[in-house]
Amino acid sequence: MSGGARRVLEAWKLGLVRYGDALRLQERLVADRRAGRVSDLVLSLQHPPTYTLGKRRTDHNLLLPEVELRGLGAEIHRTERGGDVTFHGPRQAVLYPILSLRTIGLGARRYVEGLESAMIEVAALYGVKARPGAAGETGVWVGDRKIGAIGVRISSGFTCHGLAFNIDPDLGYFKHIVPCGIADKEVTSLRREAAVELPPDEAIHDQLVQSLARTFFFSDVEVKDESECADMVCLSAATQS
């Protein structure tokens, strides 16, 4: 993207948010971004244990009946994002960018590559050499072990959903699915792969946001915490049941 105008990415730090609440918030914010009521932003959060399926509805990649998955304490959601089944849970960093790709000057492929790049860059901070998926492999990998998932929805150039980067989630939940529809591959985490001590999860969330901002040509990040979002009547709209 050309031009010298200062571009700021808002980062909304929301903590632990139920998946359905985050989905409704994204839907509202995409409409607001399309109408010009908000600027480009990214939601930074975690989910309670949750399995999600993409728009292809690949239920055969759930290895247990839904009632048993719920018995593990997990929610199940079917969405309109791309990608296959995946798991979200505590100690996994989730970023949901709400961006105008036309404003940034990116197409869908370059956007997805940017999400991959952000995770690869953060992994490298801890000595972990990650890579984009090869043909037929979505997300970000360390060797043949998946550390980051990507599932996006782009409508008329506006984005939602995003990435999930495994800091130190309970990897046992992944045993009950075929993660992202790719059989015979392991799922890993930054904690498992790094040879150094990790900082608090919040710091890694922040590093992901900063990397994302640089990748997509933002000159600065303006952080808003949960209380500020509530003041703007943003979070309250999302948490209605």
Q: CA dist 87 to 69, 81, 172, 209, 238, Å?
A: 11, 14, 10, 21, 21
Q: Which of 160, 180, 229, 234 is catalytic?
A: 180
Tens of pLDDT along 108-118? 999 999 999 99
Reference 93, options 216, 200, 175; nearest CA is 200
123 pLDDT tier (thresholds 50, 70, 90): very high
Q: Is the pLDDT reported for residue 228 higher than 70?
A: yes
Lowest mean pLDDT, pick from 15-24, 162-171, 175-184, 200-209: 175-184
Q: Catalytic residue at 234?
A: no
In angstroms, the CA 89 to CA 167 distance is: 10
pLDDT at 4: 60
pLDDT at 56: 63
Tens of pLDDT along 143-152? 999 999 999 9
Lowest mean pLDDT, pick from 1-5, 79-83, 120-124: 1-5
Q: Is the pLDDT reported for residue 134 higher than 60?
A: yes
Q: Is the pLDDT reported for residue 182 higher than 90?
A: no
Mean of the pLDDT values across residues 166-170? 97
Q: Is the pLDDT reported for residue 201 higher than 70?
A: yes
